[in-house]
A and B are shown apart, each in its own frame.
Chain A
């Protein structure tokens, strides 16, 4: 079984500053993927970034980067140069990769508020 823990219910960040959203995970699967999704008030889940457990380098996608520390079982999301449009719920998720298209297991999310 997999478990995702997001310990920050809410975060505030000043516009143009960087912010780190924490995520720790637990799994017994040897091969797994870690994901971050953004959910604005409209409700849609928007894929941001992916990290495979076998990837040697941290994933980056534009202003998003994933700080993957396998020994600590953490997969923190870093957003650089925050924008007002980044205000939303952010979910960390994971799934096993060794048995087909397994479903995602999500954390409870972190609400990010960007202040002008």
Chain B
């Protein structure tokens, strides 16, 4: 069974440019999460989807970040415009059961110069 797929793995952009990250969760997983991991820290939730619905986006900086999960499968996270402080690893995870573990993708390492 394929794991959570993310692309790109690495991205370097200049500040004020837009950037987008893509995530394909494990087949059948209805819950999808986007986390941001700053250097030397644990991941922190940005947004959680139950199927197509964003049920927890309180930590998403909505002035510059947006996300979508069309058809309840793949998801895209966008930043526009990017700032220097957005440099981090963006992790996507998925889960299927209330008490099950979350499976993480390899992450996208974003560097904003």
A interface residues (Cβ-Cβ under 8 A, vs B): 4, 33, 35, 37, 42-47, 50, 52, 91, 93, 97, 100-101, 103-104, 106-109
- A47 and B101: CB pair below 8 A? yes
Of A47, A100, A108, the contact of B103 (CB 8 Å cutoff): A47
Residue of B nearest to A97 (CB): B99
CB neighbours (8 Å) of A103 from chain B are: 33, 35, 45, 48, 56
Known: A44-B104, A104-B33, A104-B35. 19 other contacts (CB 8 A): A42-B106, A43-B89, A43-B107, A44-B105, A45-B43, A45-B91, A45-B104, A47-B102, A50-B101, A52-B99, A91-B43, A93-B42, A97-B98, A100-B31, A103-B45, A103-B48, A103-B56, A104-B102, A109-B42
CB neighbours (8 Å) of B45 from chain A are: 103-104
Main SS class of interface, B: strand
Residue among A91, A100, A101, A108 having the largest count of chain B Cβ atoms under 10 Å:
A101
Asked whether B44 is an interface residue with its Cβ less than 8 Å from the other chain, the reply is yes
B interface residues (Cβ-Cβ under 8 A, vs A): 30-31, 33, 35, 40-45, 48, 50, 55-56, 89, 91, 93, 95, 97-99, 101-107, 109
